[in-house]
Amino acid sequence: MKWKKYTLKTLAEAEDIVISTLADAGVEGVEIEDKVPLSESDKKQMFVDILPDAPDDDGIAYLSFYMEVKEEWTPEETKTREEALLSKVTEELDGLRNFMDIGEGTIQKSETEDKDWINNWKQYFHQFYVDDILIIPSWEEVKPEDEGKMIIHIDPGTAFGTGMHETTQLCMRELKKYVKEDTELLDVGTGSGILSIVALKMGARHCVGTDLDPCAINATKENLAANGIAPEKMDVMIGNIIDDREVQDLAGYGKYDIVAANILADVLVPLTPVIVHQLKKGGIYITSGIIDDKEETVVEAVKAAGLTLLQVNHQGEWVSVTARKDF
């Protein structure tokens, strides 16, 4: 499969409007490359605590879009379609220039093979074990020697969580210690739903997930189905449980045997004093997503909320903190 690639050079501050303008020209998807620093809101929706150093922002953005070259097209037809697309893009950009500065607005052309966004990444994700739990994508077969073991079917997708990251594995090990047949679990930052699915496979009665990303709803539904878990075993709600009273009310108070939160340390600090209200007396609070130099920050937040510290575990440079509500 061949694709024509077009890379538009513009200003970072104009990229949102330029992308909208490209959409008006019939462009269905755009790849963005810029050096704009992440906002605090962006960081809170990402997984890592400490991001690598980024180059200084030069104010430039490169927006790439593609045109598929179908096998049945003749060279003349390909050229005609390309000219029509670029003519429409140029027309829309020229109109936009009357209202704002978009920088150079130049377009570079190139050609690429097999631009398969949907399937190419599959070569990098294969089945693996987390202790005695096998995590396997849908396109791989369970080996005969693995039959009868706990198997979690997870496909990487638009929501976070495959089990490969150390913090997810730390949470999974803590769940193994505390999940029982009647466990009610609250999974904050549920993503793909992997922690809830692990808990349900271990015998938990029901799970509730919260997330900021609407993609979490479909991701968890798909992964529940892939694991043969009835949809009514898990509910997912979108919103910030830290400051959204509606989400807090929907989740409920004093009802969870376990609250799991595999997110940022900087989010765990304000989350912890809120989440104690969702926990039952004797309930277990399992946290991770903590880079090692933020360990004390989370431990202090746990203690300040009145929780009893039970365990601090490490894997690589990552940390999980487990505590109990005794009041």
CA 115 from chain centre, in angstroms, equals 23
The Cβ-side half-sphere exposure at 291, using a 13 Å CA radius, reads 9
- What is the enclosing helix (H) or strand (E) of 262? strand 256-262
Residue that the structure tokens 């930052």 belong to: 189
Asked whether 324 and 172 are in contact (CB, 8 A), the reply is no
C-alpha 52/C-alpha 88 separation (Å) is: 39
Between strands 256-262 and 279-291, the pairing is parallel
C-alpha 28/C-alpha 66 separation (Å) is: 9
Amino acid at 62: Y
Q: How far is CA 64 from CA 6, 67, 124, in A?
A: 5, 11, 24
- Nearest Cα to 132, choosing from 113, 111, 146, 119? 146
Question: DSSP string of 61-104?
Answer: EEEEEEEEE-TT--HHHHHHHHHHHHHHHHHHHHHHHTTS--TT
Quick check: helix, strand or coil at residue 199?
helix
Quick check: helix, strand or coil at residue 253?
coil
Is 189 annotated in a binding site? The answer is yes
What are the start-end ranges of the H helices in the chain? 15-24, 40-44, 75-97, 166-178, 194-201, 215-226, 245-251, 265-275, 295-304
Is 190 annotated in a binding site? The answer is no
Is 119 annotated in a binding site? The answer is no
C-alpha 302/C-alpha 265 separation (Å) is: 11
Is 262 annotated in a binding site? The answer is yes
Enumerate the known binding-site residues: 168, 189, 211, 262
Q: Which residue ranges make up the annotated binding site for S-adenosyl-L-methionine?
A: 168, 189, 211, 262
